[in-house]
Amino acid sequence: MSTKLKHLAIAVVLMCLAPATNVAAQSTNAVGNNEIILHAWSWSFNTISQHLQEIKEAGYTIVQTSPINECYVGDNGGRQLFGNGKWYYHYQPTDWTIGNYQLGTRDEFKAMCDKANSLGLRVIVDVLPNHTVIDRSHINARLDSAVNGRENLFHANGLWPINDYSDRYQCTTGEMGTLPDVNTENPDFQYYYMQYVNDVLACGARGFRYDTAKHIGLPDEPRDPKSPQNDFWDVAMGRKAVKGLWLSIPRDQLFIYGEVLQDRNVPEQGYAKYMDLTASSYGWVLRNVLNKHNAKEGDLLNWHHSVDPAHLVTWVESHDTYCNAHESAGMSDELVRLGWVFLTARQYGTPLFYSRPHGSTRDNYWGDNEIGKVGNDEFKHPAVHAVNEFRHINANEPENIIISDNGKQIIVERGKKAAVIINLDEQAATVSIPVTIENGKYRDAVTKQQLQVKKGVLNATLEPMTAYILSK
């Protein structure tokens, strides 16, 4: 397969020579989602600031940072993603205050938020109230003092490993992967944590991603013996005050979603009452389709979630699928891009683009291996930019998805005047495609190539592993 033919990756809509599946979107909302998230993974605050104009021009509306809290300083303060330093050290809080040695200071964070807001971009912060640093000797004395002693910081069950993740008591009160489980129901902790949240908002952030959200219990779930009531989410979402302290900005003015990874016995509907949720199963299905180069390898018409798709955050890959077991790291940038075109062209779900490390290859997942550095250029690739704009332009148009009989083509139509065609085939494909968009000439947003629909059929030769984004 010629790599020269693969760089176009953009969109249109089609059906193949053989019969195809044709399904409209299903949601309780008539208007589609318009937000698009760039996960500026492990970029420093200053690096994000330097690239905000590019992020805006690429069509994103939200920038998600890595955790900004004070965190564990390991490997003598090394700043490699993996090696002499670790990206996941900022997921080991030593205190809930803004700023850490990996990403930058509070002042730098505020300056970045100010610039983002001036450009009409929203910053959301990855927060993790559920656990502390593994080595508890590194916990800041301020945190111990805030809860009146270390013995009040953790659940009674908080230092016992979770053996059964489908057991909700273990899942919400036990030690996850050696990370001690914070007593998030302790009013003293809630008060301290909400001071941090409100400071983040005062600096200009306008939302949060809640890490390991499914490990914090809902009101009707089993209580830890040290927890008076499971009210963390009510406090965090501004439904109630803790010791007189409220969430400083109304919940409906913030974009908040939770990492509620799907598994057995996870009360998705309960969490959805508080925030949007991650569509982790859908991401797995999509990656399987992409890796097999065949849309018949998974049901892409089903969101694989019990929650309205208008309230799901979708991705081709996340930082966890890339970093933890390298589940998605072997996928080529081109393949991920095709998946992004599909997700972003859809009417529902809020797509999140994970920015892979700068210089990364399929043989070297860490690339330049520097915390704080900008990711690779994929976040602003012409095809990514084009489909992001396609989403904004067609936000109010209903979707219609068509999958060719052989599974090699996926089509997303938006209304009657715009469509995306994704050719998963590793060979060029000549197709005759029945479509529902209007007859006439359409222009591909990246190549500027013109395609024509006559009598409800698009006849075209599609390049291998390419997407086309068409509009009149």
Q: Of these residues, 144, 199, 211, 368, which one is catalytic?
A: 211
Residue of 126, 175, 224, 259 with catalytic role: 259
CA neighbor of 212 nearest in space, from 153, 279, 128, 282: 128
Q: Which residues contact 328 (CB under 8 A, 6 or more apart)?
A: 287, 316, 317, 321, 322, 336
Q: Please confirm, yes or no, whether 211 is among the known catalytic residues.
A: yes
Closest CA to 218 of 234, 205, 204: 234
Q: Which DSSP letter does residue 357 get? A: P
Token pair 């996926």: residue: 410
Which residues lie closer than 8 Å to 423 by C-beta, 6 or more apart?
Answer: 408, 409, 429, 462, 463, 464, 465, 466, 467
The CA–CA distances, whole Å, from 456 to 13, 50, 377, 430 equal 12, 47, 37, 17
In the chain, what are the helix, strand and coil shares in percent, each to the nearest 5?
Answer: 30, 25, 45
What is the 3 state secondary structure string of 379-398? HHCHHHHHHHHHHHHCCCCC
Helices 45-57, 106-118: axis angle to 10 degrees equals: 10
Task: Using CB atoms within 10 Å of the CB of residue 100, give its burial: 0 to 12 exposed, 13 to 18 middle, 19+ buried.
Answer: buried
- Report how far residue 38's alpha carbon sits from residue 61's, in angstroms, rounded to the nearest whole number: 8
Calculate the CA 246 to chain-centre distance. Answer: 27
Q: Nearest-5° angle of CA 123, CA 286, CA 348? A: 50
SS3 63: strand
Alpha carbon distance 62, 438 (integer Å): 33
d(CA 93, CA 131): 7
Tell which residue, 277, 132, 278, 108, has the closest CA to residue 193: 132
Considering all CA atoms of the chain, what is the largest pairwise distance in Å, rounded to the nearest integer?
75
Contact 467, 448 (CB under 8 A): no
**Is 188 tagged catalytic?**
no
Look at residues 212, 128, 217, 129 and name the one whose alpha carbon lies nearest to residue 176.
212
Pull the structure tokens for residue 164: 């059964």
Q: Tell me which residue of 12, 2, 4, 84 sits closest to 338, measured CA to CA.
A: 12
Cα radius of gyration rounded to whole Å, the chain: 23
- Give the catalytic positions in this structure: 211, 259
